[in-house]
Structure 1
Amino acid sequence: MKASYVKPFLVATLVVLADQAIKIWVKTHMYLDERIHFLGDRGMLRFIENNGMAFGMELGGELGKLTLTLFRIVAVIAIGFGLVHLIKHKYHRGLIMNVALILAGALGNIIDCVFYGKIFDYAPWFHGRVVDMFYFPLIRGTYPQWFPFWGGTEFEFFSPIFNLADAAISVGVIMILLFQKRYFKQETPEPVSTNSEVVEE
């Protein structure tokens, strides 16, 4: 494998391995909704499982679950080919590394969906649940009474519970959005003058 391919695929592999190591540890050492605090009440491991997309969003029903898993598989194959294309055509290294993060995140969650149901003996192939654990409820409070729609109700920031794969996808997407001008900058050739030289007699 050429050197230019090694680093992005190595990064993707390390992210997937780290993601799976954390998930398997959580799955085998914690019970559902158990919490292990490491930043007091502002940061903790909280073991949950979800049937759907990143940060606990879902696509309902058994058919929805299977459809989502198959879509993920197609998406990760497409991202993989896209990454090879970017490397082959020497795109910006930052873009390549961020796509590698997205690939790793997508693959990390696919592993849960495809294999975990069988490995942990609770569902057939392709119907596994994604393991989430990172929880950072940084701000808690109550909306003021005058606040539209939610006045008087409690709010929490940051409420999603996520895993390393979700984080890798989010970082990759956000970095591409932030630096898209740099990543997709094209060299514009200098304009060629159409004026012919005037030769004085």
Structure 2
Amino acid sequence: MALYESIEIASWFKIYFVENNGMAFGIEVIGKLFLSLFRIVAVGFIGYYLYLLVKKNFTHGYIASIALILAGAIGNIIDSVFYGEIFTASYPGHVASMVPFGNGYSSWLHGKVVDMFYFPLIEGTFPQWLPIWGGEDFLFFRPIFNFADSAITIGIALLLIFYRKTLTETMQKPNE
């Protein structure tokens, strides 16, 4: 697919090809190299934490939640590390092509992350009488994301919904 090209699966679900430099859902806060290195270090810590959890026979649900976060982080790292090395630049109307390693559009650790899932669930216009936004268009669920972002989000949601107490306890005494 070319950059910004989309395929409509349903009116509320589209495969929409975008690339981003940042974190989950295209958020950009800091430099790309720092973000890539931070992700790699974070994956190391999460992997070690997961190892300790398995060793201590924590509940399967808690371990699965942490594993989802780890898997999503690894997926985004793979994109970030290698995508720029093995693909030509994407732009509207042009499909990127795979090239020999090192001949891509960017250097190692500086690649973009591909996002593709888009769920424009509710589209409409705010009523005129509404202060500030009256008459403006709105779209509920604007973010475009990838499978790795989903894994991270689901893992965090499961932790917050079902394992908040466990998470707090393990963060206070992780080596006991």
Correspondence for 2:26: 56
| Aligned-residue CA RMSD (Å) | 1.7
Provide the rounded CA distance (Å) in 1 between the counterparts of 2:135 and 2:121: 19
The normalised TM-score by structure 1 is 0.72
SS in 1 for 2:51: helix
* Offset from partner CA, 1:165-189 (integer Å, 9 cap, x none): 0000000000110002574698xxx
Provide the rounded CA distance (Å) in 2 between the counterparts of 1:167 and 1:127: 22
CA contact (8 A) 1:92 1:183 kept: no
Write the letter of the residue equivalent to 2:121: L
1:36 aligns with 2:7: yes
Flag the 1:116–1:89 CA change in 2: closer, same or farther, 3 A: same
1:108 aligns with 2:75: yes
The normalised TM-score by structure 2 is 0.82
Provide the rounded CA distance (Å) in 2 between the counterparts of 1:75 and 1:48: 25
User: What 5-or-longer segments of structure 1 have no aligned partner?
Assistant: 1-29, 187-201
Q: Which has the larger radius of gyration?
A: 1
Q: 2:144 aligns with which of 156, 161, 164?
A: 161
Flag the 1:132–1:74 CA change in 2: closer, same or farther, 3 A: same
* Offset from partner CA, 1:30-76 (integer Å, 9 cap, x none): 1111111111x21010000000000011125xxx1111111111111
Flag the 1:69–1:184 CA change in 2: closer, same or farther, 3 A: closer
Give runs of aligned pairs for residues 37-186 of structure 1, distance below 5 A: 37-39=8-10, 41-59=11-29, 64-120=31-87, 121-180=104-163, 183=166
Provide the rounded CA distance (Å) in 2 between the counterparts of 1:94 and 1:133: 28
SS in 1 for 2:105: coil
User: What 5-or-longer segments of structure 2 have no aligned partner?
Assistant: 88-103, 170-176
Provide the rounded CA distance (Å) in 1 between the counterparts of 2:148 and 2:38: 17
> What is the percent sequence identity of the aligned residues?
57
Kindly report structure 1 stretches of 4+ aligned residues shifted beyond 4 Å.
Answer: 181-186
Flag the 1:146–1:36 CA change in 2: closer, same or farther, 3 A: same
